[in-house]
Structure 1
């Protein structure tokens, strides 16, 4: 028997290839096998999504530091958890547009008001949501750079901080997904009104993970946290300006959207 992945010769009783580690597949793909493979990959006891998320809460240094040091089997890898997070974010955006949007009073969203009133706010938020995945990716290097500058006691390089940032942002997104889904279905206005609070908690979680990964002493937090916040704030403003600029360049927004109504 030949391994389909690396062409190594296998014994007929092998379940995995000793050369590349790939699972030996003998049966055709069915709906049952696809379901089993999905749950085995993400929800089994040895390598679970839930374990990764839970350990990101209680000991994130083991998840991030473990992957950086070469640990590959205990937790989900950054690419896998990023893919799951984007999928869940897509579900939330779908619920937002299909079920919650018409129940939101945009005139009561104080942090996003424009001079044109609720209609301008609604249009800006609607168009911005279309670029949500792009914005999500931009936050990764921002958090990574802030951590690299403010929390780098272990001398991780920038790419290693990117790994930690992916784990941090995706974990927070998945942990809060249940709240987002329930709130969108029950009280969409509350979801929109608490968006800024969500961002505050996200930044606090980023600081917590960066601190746990770095093992800096507590006294140094008095200058490390403000430095981290300053970099994140600059990055957040820059991302917002870039998003609006793209919307103007693509014609999604126009100056008329900001002109006050008579």
Structure 2
């Protein structure tokens, strides 16, 4: 008997190929086997994704230190982990696209109102309607290119954490950490989004607060920061995130304006 993958000679008692490591398959494919394999691969405790997820939530510093020091087989690769979280979020947000736009509109309405008041604009019903239509276009654009935007923003967040927390980790290592954190936060955002659909739309805003807290929690454990040190980092981090958030909002408004202009 030879291995079906690499044609290496095998004994009848072998369960794995000694050459390529592939599992020896003896039974035919059936619906029962497909279901069993799916449950074992996706929900099994030995699943790398679930192992990585639970470890990041409970011991993020251990995951980061292990992966950066060369322990790779135990965890899902950072970009793959981010891609999985992005895929889950994109699937849910697009499936509930109308609810997502409504919830995002409820969040952005207060932001627009504050900005408009600071600029001295008179808020009229017509202007409110224009803002609503603009928000719908922006959110549709965001949903359409959600995966691309996510991977474009990851280097930005990594640069922010590199600036706030600095050495001993370089930019590439901060990018790895960012991918793990963002991939986890997408699952948190999904939970808050679903809750906001059936409760209070503004509850979705809590996911942003959870995101900031989790960043501080993960980096605080990684750098072994005291409460005082963590608070200083928080103020620095908050300032950067506020600037970045405002930039993203303004870019979103600009994109929506250009889309409406060319249509």
Shorter-normalised TM range: 0.7 to 0.9
Q: Distance in 1 between the 2:100 and 2:244 partners?
A: 28
RMSD: 3.4
Out of 165, 176, 200, the residue aligned to residue 151 of structure 1 is 165
Q: Could you list the per-position Cα deviations for residues 181-238 of structure 1 after superposition, in whole angstroms to 9, with x for gaps in the alignment?
A: 3433x24xx33x2343321221221122122222244443343333333333343344
The answer to whether residue 155 in structure 2 is matched with residue 141 in structure 1 is yes
- Alignment match, 1:205: 214
Question: How many Å apart are 1:88 and its aligned residue?
Answer: 1.5
Do residues 42 (structure 1) and 42 (structure 2) align? yes
Listed as ranges, the gaps of 5+ residues in structure 1 are 257-262
* 1:164 aligned to which of 167, 170, 177: 177
Secondary structure at the counterpart of residue 206 of structure 1? helix
TM-score under structure 1 length normalisation = 0.75
Matched residue SS, 2:71? coil
Unaligned stretches of 5+ residues in structure 2: 117-126
1:14 pairs with 2:10: no
Tell me the secondary structure at the aligned position of residue 137 of structure 2. Answer: helix
TM-score normalised by structure 2 residue count? 0.75
SS in structure 2 opposite 1:194? helix
CA deviations 1:8-31 (Å, max 9, x no partner) are: 444343322334433334445444
Structure number with larger C-alpha Rg: 2
**Count of aligned pairs:** 248
1:111 maps to which residue? 111
In structure 2, the residue matched to 1:72 is 72
